Amino acid sequence: MSAETPARPPSVDALARSLRSSGLPHPILVDIARAAIADGDVESAAARAEEFRRTLLTPIVNATGVLLHTNLGRAPVAHAQPARAQTVEFDLATGQRGSRQRAVGQLFARLCGAEDAIVVNNNASAVLLVLAALAAGRDVAVSRGESVEIGGAFRVPEVMEQSGARLLDVGTTNRTRLADYERALVRPGADVALVMKVHPSNYRVEGFVEDTSVAELATLDVPVVADIGSGLLDASVPWLQGAPPAWLHGEPAAVQSIAAGADIITFSGDKLLGGPQAGIVAGRRELVQRCAKHPLARALRCGGLVLAALQETALAYLDGRAATDVAFWRMAGTSVDQLRRRAEQIVADAGIGRVVDTEALPGAGSAPGVTMPSVGIALDGDVLDRLRAGDPPVIARTRDGMTTLDLRSVDPSDDPIVTAALDGLSNA
């Protein structure tokens, strides 16, 4: 009896066409089909297509309880605009070329109580631009306790080096007084252009500590730059009803920093501000304009999509709509009773899980070391992989052999998705 003739593999094009239900473009499917055939593993083509699809940017449900989750894009922002030209650098009054910074800059200047403001693509860029424009070739005095590293290996000393400024360490790791800065300014050989105060946004030092306030630093004879980081506009949070939430205690804010005498402040757009990724530079007009005219400003500028989203975010604050229209503040402002009712409904509908009290986090280095009360749904065992495999994926957290879905970071409109995900677990 002769051996059976091995079946011929399908053509690359035929195999690629059989994968159309993945939703991937045909050229990508051709690459996947070719690789599967070359490996002698035609049966894996569909799994390979799914694996590739899941490497693309994918909408998810954030049930981690971290409202500003850096890995999940920080502040969730809803923004849409027509495919139409807009006045990014066009002055409607004169018909001539205008400033990219004017529209959004004037809004943030108003929100911060500053003379002027500009925006760049993130807060690291804002710090880099300020140092390059105002202190290149000169010293910048920074407390040793604020010479920090934050996420993504962003280190203040290294950013300062790239800007051309020189770091001048002041004080000690845990205690820095005004007198330390005063001595630094008159140190032999020192040429201090700025004093910079950096918010150590991702950690907190407690115990035998002391730092110097912006108001104290403002008594010095050099400009004060305050990198407040997280983007809280006003410590009194006038867009919320009632007193400021306890978890915001001690968080530096733009309005108060400017009022205390900071000449320049920098902060993120996608943290407590609740907008798209951006960096805002606000303060004295003369200093802000020096930053705007520096060659780096063009390399670090935002595009029209980000500018439009930032404008909508700023207008929401100015119109008093931030509590409802800015997703972060909507999540942060949800009452525990509301969260509990939602959790009870989901558990009842899915027939799985139990309602538990949890502690949510602002996230993204904002308000380090503090939490906010929340409510979640607990499941026995680690089911993160199964939740993540859903469509859309649900991202939760696990600890001590238990999976928890925290509802403070879940928009109520996504509750049916959470219900379906849990229902799928019970029926698997």
367 lies in the same domain as 293? no
Q: What's the Rg (C-alpha) of the chain? A: 26
Residue 49 covered by a domain = no
Per-residue pLDDT reduced to its tens digit, 355-376? 999 999 998 776 667 889 999 9
What the block records as the tokens of 252 is: 């530096």
288 lies in the same domain as 350? no
359 lies in the same domain as 270? no
Cα 97 from chain centroid?
32
Residue 265 or residue 427, greater confidence: 265
150 lies in the same domain as 189? yes
Which is nearest to 218 in space by CA: 169, 266, 163, 257?
257
16 lies in the same domain as 143? no
Per-residue pLDDT band for 80 (boundaries 50, 70, 90) equals: confident
Task: Give the domain extent around 35.
Answer: 12-43
Reply yes or no on whether the pLDDT at 207 is more than 70.
Answer: no
Residue entry with tokens 């009712």: 341
Residue 2 covered by a domain = no
Share the mean pLDDT of the chain: 91
DSSP of 130-143: HHHHHHTTSEEEEE
Per-residue pLDDT reduced to its tens digit, 106-161? 999 999 999 999 999 999 999 999 999 999 999 999 988 777 666 555 677 788 78
Cβ contacts of 298-306, under 8 Å, gap ≥ 24: 300/120, 300/121, 300/125, 300/128, 300/129, 301/100, 301/120, 301/121, 302/100, 302/119, 302/120, 302/121, 302/278, 303/88, 304/86, 304/88, 305/79, 305/81, 305/276, 306/119, 306/121, 306/276, 306/277, 306/278
- How far is residue 269's CA from residue 309's CA, in Å, rounded to a whole number? 10
User: What does residue 271 show for φ and ψ, rounded to 5 degrees?
Assistant: -110, -120
258 lies in the same domain as 351? no
28 lies in the same domain as 106? no
Per-residue pLDDT reduced to its tens digit, 38-62? 999 999 999 999 999 999 999 999 9
Which is nearest to 232 in space by CA: 75, 7, 50, 352?
75
CA atoms in the 13 A half-sphere facing the CB of 115: 11
Whether 194 contacts 141, CB under 8 Å: yes
Which CATH number is 118's domain given?
3.40.640.10
- How far is residue 39's CA from residue 42's CA, in Å, rounded to a whole number? 8
Residue entry with tokens 């760049």: 120
Reply yes or no on whether the pLDDT at 28 is more than 60.
Answer: yes
Residue 374 covered by a domain = yes
Any alpha helices (H) in 225-282, and if so which ranges? Answer: 254-259
209 lies in the same domain as 275? yes
Cβ contacts of 185-191, under 8 Å, gap ≥ 24: 185/141, 185/220, 185/221, 185/222, 190/139, 191/138, 191/139
Question: So what's the pLDDT on residue 176?
Answer: 84
Residue 324 or residue 159, greater confidence: 324
Q: Amino acid identity, residue 88?
A: V
203 lies in the same domain as 311? yes
Reply yes or no on whether the pLDDT at 9 is more than 90.
Answer: no
Contacts of 209 (CB under 8 A, 6+ apart): 145, 174, 175
Reply yes or no on whether the pLDDT at 262 is more than 80.
Answer: yes
Q: Amino acid identity, residue 358?
A: T
- Mapping DSSP to helix (H, G, I), strand (E, B) and coil, where does residue 329 land? helix
Q: CA distances (Å), 12 to each of 9, 16, 17, 50, 52, in order?
A: 9, 6, 9, 17, 17
32 lies in the same domain as 69? no
What the block records as the tokens of 88 is: 């990014």
376 lies in the same domain as 300? no
Contacts of 362 (CB under 8 A, 6+ apart): 67, 68, 230, 247, 272, 332, 370, 372
Residue 390 covered by a domain = yes
- The total of structural domains in the chain comes to 3
Cis peptide before 76 (omega within 30 of 0): no
Residue 97 covered by a domain = no
Q: CA distances (Å), 255 to each of 132, 261, 347, 364, in order?
A: 24, 10, 43, 21
Share of the chain above pLDDT 70, in %: 93
**Which pTM value belongs to this model?**
0.91
Structure letter (DSSP) for residue 97: B
Residue 237 covered by a domain = yes
Question: So what's the pLDDT on residue 199?
Answer: 82
Reply yes or no on whether the pLDDT at 335 is more than 80.
Answer: yes
Question: So what's the pLDDT on residue 209?
Answer: 67
- How far is residue 296's CA from residue 130's CA, in Å, rounded to a whole number? 10
Residue 51 covered by a domain = no
Reply yes or no on whether the pLDDT at 1 is more than 70.
Answer: no
Reply yes or no on whether the pLDDT at 166 is more than 80.
Answer: yes
Q: Sign of dihedral through CA atoms 53, 58, 64, 68?
A: positive
Reply yes or no on whether the pLDDT at 404 is more than 60.
Answer: yes
Question: So what's the pLDDT on residue 203?
Answer: 56
Structure letter (DSSP) for residue 367: S
263 lies in the same domain as 301? yes
Residue 5 covered by a domain = no
Which CATH number is 70's domain given?
3.90.1150.180
